[in-house]
Amino acid sequence: MLGYLIRRIFFSLLVLIGIVTVVFFVARASPQDPVMAVLRQNATARGQVDPVEYQRTRHQLGLDRPLVVQYFDYIGNLARGDLGESIVQRNRDVSDILGRGVPISAQVALFGLALQFVIGSFVGVWAAARQNRAFDRASMGIAVWLGALPQLVIGIVLIVVFGIKLDWLPIHGWGTWQHWLLPITTLTVTGVAAYARFSRASVLEQINQDFVRTAKAKGLSESRVMFGHVLRNALIPIITFVGPSLAFVITGNFVVETLFGVPGVAFYAVSSLIQNDYPVMQATVVLWAVAIMVVNLLTDLAYGLIDPRVRLA
C-alpha cells in the first residue's frame, strides 16, 4: 500500500511537471505579449510602445532572460510555492488571489456536489427498485431532459425566473446566503440527472447478480438486500463518477462562476484569460492539474476500502 502510494505520487509529479512545461511554453508561444499586458495597465502605453519602456518592463518581468533559464526559475519558484504576482491586479500575489478563490469555489462546489449526489442517488436507487413503474419512467424521463440542458441554459432560466420575474434572489455577486442559491441550484439541477441515471444503472446491474438472488433466497428483507449487498457494490462505479467532480471543488465551475459572478478560482481563471494575466492563468492550470491528480489518487484509494477485491500494490 505504501509502495503504491509513493509510486503514484512520483508518477503524478512527473505528469505535473509535464503539464507545467506545456503550459509554460504554450503561454510563451501565444501571440499575446505579456509585456503589452503590463503596459496596457498603464493605459498610456497602449499604442505606440516606447522601446525603452518596453525593455524595462520586459526586464522587470524577467522575460529578457533565455527561455530555459525562465523555465527553470519558474519551476523552482513553483516548488517553493511561489506563484508570482498578478499582472493585472498590481501588487497582488497570485497565491493570494487563488487563496481567496478556493474557499468560495469549494463552498459552491461542495454543496452542489453533495446535493447532486444525495438527490441523484436517491432518485436512481428508488427508480431502480421500482424498475419500469411510473416513478422510474417519470424520473428517468425528466433526467434525460435535464441532462440534455447545458448549465448555461439552466443558469439563465433560473436568473430570468428567480432573479428577474419573481425578483426573489440576487443574480450576481457573493456575500449573503441568498447569493448561494442560484449557483448551487444550477449545479445541482445539471448534475442530479447524471447521478440519477448512473446510480439507477449501477443498482440494476447489481440487482440481477447471483449474490443478490442468494441473499433474497436466504430470506433477507428487501431493505437489507438493498443496503447491505446491492448498494455497496453499486457504489464503486458511482465513486469513480464522483471522483473527477471533486476536482471542481477546488477549481470551481467555469460556467456557474462566470454567469453568477461568484469570485472563485474558475472566475479568476476566466478573467485572467480575458485580461492576459499570465501568472494567474498558469497558476490556475497548475492548480487544476494538482486537484485532478489528488482526486484521482483518492478515488483509487477509496476503491480499496470499498471493494476488498481491489488490491493496491
Partner 1 sequence: MAHAFDQDLKELVQAFSRGAVNRRDFLRISAIAAGAVATSTALAACGGDDDESEATQPAAATGQATTGSGQATTASGQATTGSGQATTASGEATTAPAGSGTGTTVTSIVSQAEGEPLTGVELSLPWKTFGTGVVIDPHRAPNWGPFWYLLPFAYGGLVQFDESAVIQPDLAESWEKSEDGLTYTFHLREDAKFASGRDVVADDFVYSWKRALDPENPSPMLHFMEHLKGQKEYTEGTADEIEGVKVIDAKTLELTLTKPYNFFLSYLGTFVWDIIDREAVEEFGEDFASHPSGTGPWTITTIDPQLVVEMEPNENYYGGVNPSISKLSFQVLVGPQADNTALNLFKSGETAFTDLPIALLDAVKQDSDLNENLFTIDPSGSIRSLAMNFKLAPFDDVRVRRAFGHAIDRETFGEVIWRGTWVPANIYTPKVVLNSDPGYDPPEEETPTFDPEKGKQLLADAGYPNGEGLPEIRWYVSSESASDEINRWQAFVNMFKEHLGVEVVMDTSLTQDQITTKQSEEGIQMAEWWWGNITETPQLISEVFRTDAPYNASGVQWQADIPAKGGYDPGADAKKFDELMAQADIEQDIDKMNDLYRQGETLVLKNAVYVPIANLVPHLLVQPWIRNMRIGWWNFSAPSRFEPDVVVVKH
**Which residues of the chain form contacts with partner 1 (CB under 8 A)?**
31-33, 36, 39-50, 52-53, 86-92, 97, 159-160, 163-164, 167, 170-175, 258-259, 261, 263, 267-268, 270-271, 274-275
Measure the CA–CA gap between 47 and 39, rounded to whole angstroms. Answer: 9
Looking at the Cβ atoms of 91 and 223, the one nearer to partner 1 is: 91
Looking at the Cβ atoms of 152 and 297, the one nearer to partner 1 is: 152
Q: In this structure, what are the phi and psi dihedrals at residue 33, rounded to the nearest 5 degrees?
A: -100, 115
Closest approach, Cβ 81 to partner 1, in A, equals 22
Closest approach, Cβ 9 to partner 1, in A, equals 33
Runs of H (alpha helix) within the chain: 2-29, 34-40, 51-60, 67-79, 94-129, 134-147, 151-158, 177-207, 210-217, 222-224, 231-251, 254-260, 265-274, 278-306
Closest approach, Cβ 77 to partner 1, in A, equals 22
Residue 138: Cβ-neighbour burial (10 angstroms; 0-12, 13-18, 19+): exposed
**Grid cell 504554450 — which residue?**
26
Closest approach, Cβ 101 to partner 1, in A, equals 9
Closest approach, Cβ 83 to partner 1, in A, equals 16
Looking at the Cβ atoms of 118 and 157, the one nearer to partner 1 is: 157
Distances (CA, A) of 26 to 19, 31, 51, 65, 312: 10, 10, 25, 17, 36
Looking at the Cβ atoms of 3 and 31, the one nearer to partner 1 is: 31
Looking at the Cβ atoms of 245 and 258, the one nearer to partner 1 is: 258
